Chain A
Amino acid sequence: MLLKTEALTKNFGGLTALNKVDFEIQEGEIVAIIGPNGAGKSTFFNLISGYYPSCSGTISFMGKDMTRTPTHEFASRGIGRTFQTTNLFTDSTVLDNLIIGYRSKTKMGMLDAIFNTSRARRDEGASREKATEVLEFIGLTEVKGQPVGNISQEAAKRLAIGLALVTEPRLLLLDEPAAGVNHGETNELAKLIKKIQQTGTTVCLIEHKVQMVMNLAHRIMVLNYGSKIAEGTPKEISNNERVIEAYLGGAAHA
C-alpha cells in the first residue's frame, strides 16, 4: 500500500477534529473522502500532507514513518496537494507558477545563481521544460503568459492541480477540486483527474459533488464528527445506512 494512517487524531483545544482514523490508500487508485461540513475531511488532508502535526497516531508513506516529518519534505517524499481555496502565486504568470513549483527538484544554490554556473542553467532549463510539459498536460498552454489573476476560475483550479503535479508526486491530494465551477467544467476536471490516475499517480480527493465522486472513485471513506463511519466502493457507500443517516440527519429514521 502507498499510504497508511493508524489511529490518526487531531485536537484543536477541546475539539476533536479527527478521532482515531485508520485508513489505507493503495497504489494507483482514486479514493475519495466525503462527509458533511465539519466532518474532519480537510483536517485529515492537512495531517497526511504534513500541513499540521498530528496529536497522536501514525502516518506512513511507502513503508516509511512520516508522522513527524516537516511540511516541506512531504513534497520531496512524493505527496503533493492542492488547497480548498485555490492557492496560487498570484503575483506571477501561469508558467512562472509551474516553474517555481519544480524548485524542490532542483539543486542550484546562491553561488550558482551569482556565477550563472552550468548547474544554474541546467536547472532553469529543466524547470522550464517540466513546467511546459505540465502546462500541456493540464491544457493551459494557451494562457501560459497570463498573470494568474486574469485566468478563469476553472483554469485556476487546473493550475493548482498542475502546481502539485510539477513536484512529481506519487500521491496527489485534491481538496475539493471542483468547488465553485459549473457542471460542464466539473466534467472536464473529472476527466483531468482520471488522466492523472492513468499516468500512474494515485489520487485522493475530498469532494462535495457526489455525482462526480461516484463516477470517479474506486473507493470512498466517509467521515462524520471526526470519525470514520464507512468505507467501501461507491455502490456500498450509497447503500450504507449510517452514511444516509449522517447526510440526511437522524430524523430520516423516525
Chain B
Amino acid sequence: MLDGMKKSNAKLIAYGVLSVVAIAFPFISPNRYYLTVVTLGFIYAIAVYGLNLIVGYLGQLSLAQAGFFGLGAYVSGLLSLKLHLSFWISLPMAAVVTTLVALLVGLISFRTRGHYFVIFTLCIGVIINLVIEKWDDLTGGVRGLIGIPRPTSIGPIDFISLESQYYLVLLFLSLTIFVMSRIASSLVGRTFKSIHNSEELAATLGINVMRNKLLAFGIAAFFTGIAGALFAGYIRFIGPDISNPHLTFELLLFLLIGGQATIAGPLVGTLIATGLTESLQFMQEYRMVVFGALLIIIVKFFPGGLVGAAMKLKTKIEKRMNKANKSEDALSKGENHAAKNRGFN
C-alpha cells in the first residue's frame, strides 16, 4: 500500500515537472525555430499515439495512417477554406469523417490477417493519396490547398502568434495522452492487448475480436484525423504529399524509436526523431543513413524502444534493491512460505 502511494506520488511529480516544462517552453526556447519544430512534432505525436493504439496495443500493423492524416487535413482545410466554417467545426468534422472512413476500411481489411492486413492497409493509404492528388476540382490536385485560415479565435483568445498555436497543439496533445492512458490502463486496453497476444484465445474467452479491432482502429483514426486538421490549421498550406505512405513509415519510425505499447513512447520517439532530423539537416538525403542504422539497432536490441528499455532498466534496479532489502528477513519468512506451498490443495 505504502509502495503504491510512493509510486503514484513519483508519477504525479513527473507529470507535474513535464507539464511545467511544456508550458514554459515558449519562454525558455532560445529561438522561434525550435518552437516551430516542437509544435510540428506535437502534431505528429498525436498521430503516432493513434498508431500506437493499433500497432502497439492491438498488434495490427496498419499502413493507412498517412492516408487518414491527409484525409483529416483535407476535410478540415476544405471546410474552412471553401465553406468558411469555423475551425472548431471543421476539426471535429475532420475527426468524424476520418473515423467513418476508417471503420469502413476496417470492416473489409480486418477480414484479412498478418501480412495480408499490412498490404491491404498500405493499398488503402495509396488509394487515399491518389484520390487527393487526382481529384483536381475538389482538392486542387498537386497544387494543394493554399491559404487555409488559422484556427478561429475563441472570444479574446486568438491563434495568430506562434506561442498561442503551440499552446493549442499542446492542449490537444495532452487530451490525446490522457485518453490513451485511460484506455491503456482500463479493461478495454487490456482487451486490445489480449487480442495482440492471441486472437484465438481471446475469441474463446468470449471477446468479440472483430468489434474490438474496429474500435481500436476507429479511435486511432479519430486522433490521426485531429492531427491532420491541426496540421492544416498550423501550416496553412497542404499538398497531396502529406497523405503519402512515406509519412506512415515516418510515424512508424517515431513509434519504434520511442517504444510501442507504452504511454510515453510516441511523444519521446517523435521529439527525438524530429529533433535528430532537424539537427542532421546539413547531411541532406544522407541523414537517412543515420536513421537506417538507428532503426536496425533499436529493433534488434531494444524491441520496446527507448521507453521500453528505460522501463526494463528501472525494474532491474528495483528488483536488485528489493533483493538487498529482503535478503535479511527472507530467512525467517522462508519456512512459512514452504509450509503454505505444501498446503496447496
A124 to chain B, nearest CB (A): 6
- CB neighbours (8 Å) of A49 from chain B are 204
Q: Would you call B205 and A101 a contact (CB within 8 A)?
A: yes
Q: Would you call B203 and A139 a contact (CB within 8 A)?
A: no
B179 interfacial contact with A, CB 8 Å? yes
**Assembled-state Cα–Cα distance A115/B208 (Å):** 22
Nearest to B185 among chain A residues (CB) is A113
**Assembled-state Cα–Cα distance A83/B202 (Å):** 12
Q: Would you call A87 and B200 a contact (CB within 8 A)?
A: yes
Q: Would you call A89 and B203 a contact (CB within 8 A)?
A: no
Q: Would you call B193 and A124 a contact (CB within 8 A)?
A: no
**Assembled-state Cα–Cα distance A89/B190 (Å):** 11
Q: Would you call A114 and B179 a contact (CB within 8 A)?
A: yes
Q: Would you call A167 and B197 a contact (CB within 8 A)?
A: no
Q: Would you call A51 and B193 a contact (CB within 8 A)?
A: no
Q: Would you call A167 and B205 a contact (CB within 8 A)?
A: yes
- Bin chain A's interface residue count: 35 or more
B191 interfacial contact with A, CB 8 Å? yes
Given A114-B179, A139-B345, A191-B345, also A103-B206 (CB < 8 A): yes
Q: Would you call B182 and A91 a contact (CB within 8 A)?
A: no
A48 to chain B, nearest CB (A): 12
- When the two chains form the complex, which single residue of B189, B197, B208, B345 contacts A113, counting CB atoms closer than 8 Å? B189
Q: Would you call B203 and A72 a contact (CB within 8 A)?
A: yes
Q: How many residues of chain B get a CB closer than 8 Å to chain A's CBs?
A: 30
Nearest to A160 among chain B residues (CB) is B201
A133 interfacial contact with B, CB 8 Å? no
- When the two chains form the complex, which single residue of B187, B198, B200, B201 contacts A120, counting CB atoms closer than 8 Å? B187
**Assembled-state Cα–Cα distance A83/B200 (Å):** 10
A33 interfacial contact with B, CB 8 Å? no
- CB neighbours (8 Å) of A81 from chain B are 204
23 A-B pairs (CB sep. < 8 Å)? A51-B200, A72-B203, A72-B209, A73-B206, A74-B206, A75-B205, A80-B204, A87-B200, A89-B201, A91-B193, A91-B196, A92-B193, A99-B190, A100-B187, A100-B190, A101-B205, A103-B191, A104-B205, A104-B207, A108-B187, A110-B188, A124-B187, A142-B340
Residues of B within 8 A of A (CB): 179, 182-183, 186-191, 193-194, 196-198, 200-209, 215, 219, 340-341, 344-345
With A75-B206, A103-B190 already in contact, 8 other A-B pairs whose C-beta atoms are closer than 8 Å = A72-B208, A81-B204, A101-B205, A106-B187, A108-B186, A113-B183, A114-B179, A123-B187
Residues of A within 8 A of B (CB): 49, 51, 71-76, 80-81, 83, 87-92, 96, 99-101, 103-106, 108-110, 112-116, 120, 123-124, 127, 139, 142, 163, 166-167, 188, 191-192
